[in-house]
Amino acid sequence: GRAELGGPGRMAAPSLAEAAAQWLRWDKNTKTSEIVKQLVAEKNAGELQKCFGSRMEFGTAGLRASMGAGISQMNDLTIIQTTQGFCRYLEKNFSDLKKRGVVIGFDARAHPSSGSSSKRFARLAGTTFISQGIPVYLFSDITPTPFVPYTITHLKLSAGIMITASHNPKQDNGYKVYWENGAQITSPHDKGISQAIEENQEPWPQAWDDSLVDSSLLLHDPYVTINKDYFKDIQKHCFHRNINKETKLKFIHTSVHGVGHEFVQSAFKAFDFKPPLAVPEQKDPDPEFPTVKYPNPEEGKGVLTLSFALAEKEGAGIILANDPDADRLLVAEKQESAEWKVFSGNELGALLGWWIFTCWKNQNQESTAVKDVYMLSSTVSSKILRAIALKEGFHFEETLTGFKWMGNRAKQLTDQGKTVLFAFEEAIGYMCSPVVLDKDGVSAAVITAEMSSWLATKNLSLSQQLKAIYDEYGYHITKASYFICHDPKTIKELFENLRNYDGKNTYPKSCGKFKVSGVRDLTTGYDSSQPDQKAVLPTSKSSQMITFTFANGGVATMRTSGTEPKIKYYAELCAPPGNSDPGQLKKELDELVSAIEEFFFQPEKNKLQPKAE
């Protein structure tokens, strides 16, 4: 560890002054090196500590941090160092790397005060690979994140990088990595890449010479081909062209100042729709995200204010909102009451799962085919697909949280000759087509539009169809939220308390008036429902995650967030098919959630901050 003191024969961790001096020898970006010179001259220990205290951690999601100077932030030099490490790691893993190459995409983020931008980072990453004789497919313009995994599988490349911070605040950026199978990396690749970054910190001779990407024969621009082929490929999921052509529905689309506008327009064209009406103030990429507090559609109505206004003005009934890198989708629909309903990720997951299976069934009449069909969702998402699968005879599997797990599992199943129709997570992420093994908000938007148009010919709205799904397969009502806690010790104690609730190594048997019928702890690997008491899903000691099953059909998971100081919870009440009273179920779920907050979180005792409404 960096913090250990150097004993005999061991180097001490470099002092901040040494780290800054080293930085200034290597950094050729005038803005970041100026910032560091300034801090050194002012002897600003606090800021130097912030910039040089610790290197950004490279995890399975790659990097995500604010843009600025030093090893703790995203900037030209840390991008060069990261790419040098990634490059060496790929060389070790692929003997044919120089034949196959890598793809690099970027969003529209920029941070003028540190001279950073996604495009600049992508060019530097491209330079690193080209300097080592490795072909680079560098997009000449912004693209949605799903274009990178699509390009890997489509062109059979070794790996891909997307420079994006998705829906994070505007000062952040990120470096997302995909493997040759077109899915995000899983462990232990992150460890291997991390180590390679540590070993390749000094910029290679041509590292700063980004004119290489303009002149090298190793550089290819996949923009035109991929734009053509992707939209051709997703047409496999278009089943009702004539309805799309004629539909009276009007769609509003917002790309929330991100990359989505042009690509969703193209997707609508590919499905023979009239173009959706774009929110004019938000359709062009703008790294300042001027009209929203957070560019995250999951934060709900605030992001949709301008969309609601345009919909009212144009008489449109459905809003499709992408996050800034267009890999997620939020949907809202105007109700007969004139109120707007914003669908949760789980509700849209139910609708898309139902729709995609219905379309598949119409194409595949033979009764045995269904045995090879799969759908996936993450373990904190609604179990509605499980209920549909049980009744319709296909397979449902749950994975750990995060699309890297669903993407990799989908690839394994496909390689075994199975058909993976759909995967989703409650954080508004949907994989509607196997051509992208990751969440894709572009295909999800146009498939949602086709589903809505088809339903309209039956005089049904999305919310009416959702009710029909619940009536047929059983109501699944979900509620999720989080507490903020900045003290890792408190978080650990809270979870340890649940593991030693009534004496050592005993979990709670009840929560208020609700009886606990099962416990699965993916931190320790315990599962009370398995014959050998061992959990089936992979376990991880480094993150906290416990799922409680209740006698009343409730399921609740408590987990720590990998990227934020939050303890999240996800609760669901699943009723069997039949005459359920949704109002009564909702009341029961609210009571269960209150009991979980009171008895399992103990917010007063643990000084937890509730989510701000």
d(CA 354, CA 171): 39
Neighbour-count burial for 55-92, b at 16+ CB within 10 Å, e otherwise: bbebbbbbbbbbbbbbbbbbbbbbbbbbbbbbbbbbee
For 4, other C-beta atoms within 10 Å of its C-beta total: 9
> At residue 299, what are phi and psi to the nearest 5 degrees?
-75, 0
Nearest C-alpha neighbor of 343 from the set 352, 356, 331, 326? 331
DSSP state of 370: G
User: Which residue carries 């599992």 as its tokens?
Assistant: 409
- CA of 46: how far to CAs of 34, 39, 55, 293, 551, in Å? 17, 9, 16, 28, 53
Nearest C-alpha neighbor of 216 from the set 87, 84, 128? 128
d(CA 176, CA 158): 15
Sheet with 373-378, edge to edge strand ranges: 395-399, 373-378, 419-425, 429-431
d(CA 317, CA 337): 12
What is the dihedral angle through the alpha carbons of 96, 100, 102, 103, rounded to the nearest 10 degrees?
A: -170
What is the dihedral angle through the alpha carbons of 86, 88, 92, 94, rounded to the nearest 10 degrees?
A: 60
DSSP 77-136: HHHHHHHHHHHHHHHHH-TTHHHH-EEEEE-S-EEGGGTEEHHHHHHHHHHHHHHTT--E
Nearest C-alpha neighbor of 582 from the set 482, 424, 466? 466
Sign of CA dihedral 541, 544, 550, 554: negative
- Which residues touch 612 (CB under 8 Å, ≥6 apart)? none
Active site residue 378: no
User: Which residue carries 């980004």 as its tokens?
Assistant: 210
Q: Which of 116, 166, 378, 461 is catalytic?
A: 166
CB 324 within 8 A of CB 167: yes
Nearest C-alpha neighbor of 327 from the set 264, 237, 413? 264
Residue at 497: amino acid letter: N
Structure tokens at 482: 């989080």
DSSP 443-475: HHHHHHHHHHHHHHHTT--HHHHHHHHHHHH--
3-state SS string for 145-176: CCHHHHHHHHHCCCEEEEECCCCCCCCEEEEE
User: Which residue carries 């105007």 as its tokens?
Assistant: 334
DSSP 230-271: HHHHHGGG---HHHHHH----EEEE-TTSS-HHHHHHHHHHT
**3-state DSSP assignment of residue 191:** helix
Catalytic residue annotation: 166
